[in-house]
Structure 1
Amino acid sequence: MVGGSDIRRIEEREREERYNAFNKSANDRKRVLYWIGFLEGALSSRRIEAGEQPAILAESEKFADFFDDPDASDLAEDIRSRCFSSEKDMMTQLREIIADKSNELGNASTSKETDELNIFLGFCAGIICDGRVLESEVRALRNRFMRSERLREEVAFYPLCKAVEEALADDMITEEESEDIEEWLGQLVGDGYADTGFTNIGNVAKLDDPILDPETIELKDSVFVLTGPMRMGPRAYIEKEIKRAGGTMASRATRKVDYVVISSTASRHWRTTHFGTKIERARELIEEGCKLRFVSEVALEKALSGKG
């Protein structure tokens, strides 16, 4: 005979199973939307750039791993085998995949706004995957913002939207403006595959607590990595201050790095939804036993100013 406590345990297990099934479905949809956006971003310059093909190959292999997806597997195999007769041929296949995946998803989502945000995050990753931002890609970003009030209103996208608008105010893009936009893209979705060798699709992780006490930061002979645009000033200024204090800066997390600085302008929600690859790599190194630590930008700023 089944007692009341047994019934409650069964009901709790069934609720947990339904919850897990819902989360899996939502995460799967997010990854598909991100994949669609990624391909759209890679196509936004209306060509396949030199650094994009390796990134598309890596992302397609990752997507195929997630879903055993034949389209992604075929794309990866065609890239590896150099089967495309021309750049146009490859672009045509990417557009066909986008159309097929969009049709497969249909209108099942409970939130079209969430879908739009996930596609846009993928779009940003597709633009930055080769490690640089072209003028045509900046214009493509502006077109996305102009077409969508939802994207313009999202607080996490506001700095990128503002940087794009300011860069195109005089109808031309300087190298500094391009780098600024690249920084904001990296803040949203992580640095591109060309810079890190890591795929972006599906990254979900928990941010380790950063150092908050400036007195615990050893500046002299330490190596620092910055994860995004910093409130305290441009990278050149921060690098100068770190060098003045006896430290050095690196462009990415390695075993030689002591501190990875978490920008105070970053949103915890957006970082943990599509995790920055510098932070993800740092976490892997920490798990391997490396000395590396996360540190908040505020703590670093106080340490550099001697206010710790």
Structure 2
Amino acid sequence: MDLHQEFQNSRFFHQARIDRRSADELVGMAAGLIADGTVNQQEAEFLKGWIESNFIHFDDPVVNIIYRRLANMLSDGILQPEESIELVEMLHKFTGPTLATDKPFTAPSTLPFCDPAPALVIPDRCYLFTGTMAYGPRKSCEAAVTDRGGITSGTVTNRVHYVVVGSIGNNQWLHSSYGTKIMKAVEMRDAGIPISIISENHWQESLFG
């Protein structure tokens, strides 16, 4: 499932199609929640409930993806630390400084992807996912790898073979919270360590054709 156009094409940014007051409140609320750089369990539950109360039909892709990710993260009743980090990253992109532009969210085009993109091997290879994945929550991406005999990691180490960068990002990746992982991978690659930096699109195409 390829959702990487959902932010760009969202009706959320077209005043004629959605209640702008609720939309502006959602942006402000999200910005407030991530102001301290973290989102805790209570804050995540509050945001989920607020969306349920204020966006009854959930017919906007941006609101939908935020709500689905929240619901998935809270489905077991616990917001895990890694889920909190992923939620902060996603809300940062949602409330970013380019929000008022015609195309507020664009696929990262200045990322140091391997060129040409390498052929991917799944069994016995270690994958690290960073950024916001269009495929779904990070744990779903990891499951797609482990179900095929691969391995996943949450940190960039010598055992990681592929760093997969989520397609819902922006050109300010260098200053984002996931940029440190990418920079470390670049340093390792430049030092001769066999680690590849690839786009989510390349990963999806390799898995699903």
TM-score by length of 2: 0.52
1:175 — aligned with what? 76
Q: Does 1:281 align with 2:181?
A: yes
Q: Does 1:226 align with 2:134?
A: no
The alpha-carbon deviation at position 117 of structure 1 amounts to 6.6
Give the number of the structure whose alpha-carbon radius of gyration is greater.
1
- C-alpha separation between the residues in 2 aligned to 1:160 and 1:187? 8
Work out the CA distance in 1 between the residues paired with 2:64 and 2:175: 17
Aligned counterparts of 2:115 and 2:77: Cα–Cα separation in 1: 31
Q: Does 1:298 align with 2:204?
A: no
**Which secondary structure does the structure 2 equivalent of 1:268 belong to?**
coil
Corresponding position: 1:267 with 2:169: yes
TM-score (normalizing by structure 1): 0.38
- Structure 1 residue ranges without an equivalent (≥5): 1-115, 147-153, 168-172, 191-205
Residues 1:126 and 2:36 are matched in the alignment:
yes
In 2, Cα distance between equivalents of 1:274 and 1:119: 22
Aligned partner of residue 295 in structure 1, secondary structure? strand
CA contact under 8 A between 1:163 and 1:181: conserved in structure 2? no
CA RMSD of superposed structures (Å)? 4.7
Equivalent of residue 209 in structure 1, options 112, 117, 136: 112
Query: CA contact under 8 A between 1:128 and 1:186: conserved in structure 2?
Result: no
Counting aligned pairs with the same residue, the percent is 17
What is the Cα deviation at residue 189 of structure 1? Answer: 4.5
Structure 1's 188 and 227: CA in aligned 2 closer, same or farther, altered over 3 A? farther
Q: How far off is 1:250 after superposition?
A: 0.4
Structure 2: distance between partners of 1:176 and 1:210 = 37
Report the CA distance shift for 1:268/1:174 in structure 2 as closer, same or farther (over 3 A): same
Contact 1:160–1:185 (8 Å) recurs in 2 = no
**What is the alpha-carbon distance in structure 1 between the residues aligned to residue 30 and residue 139 of structure 2?**
30
Query: d(CA) in 2 for partners of 1:121 and 1:189?
Result: 7
User: Partners in 2 of 1:126 and 1:241 — Cα distance?
Assistant: 32
Kept after mapping to 2: 8 A contact 1:231/1:263: yes
Q: Which runs of 5+ in 2 are unaligned?
A: 1-25, 53-59, 94-108
- Corresponding residue number in structure 2 for 1:243: 146
Q: What is the SS of the residue equivalent to 1:210?
A: coil
Structure ranking higher in helix proportion? 1
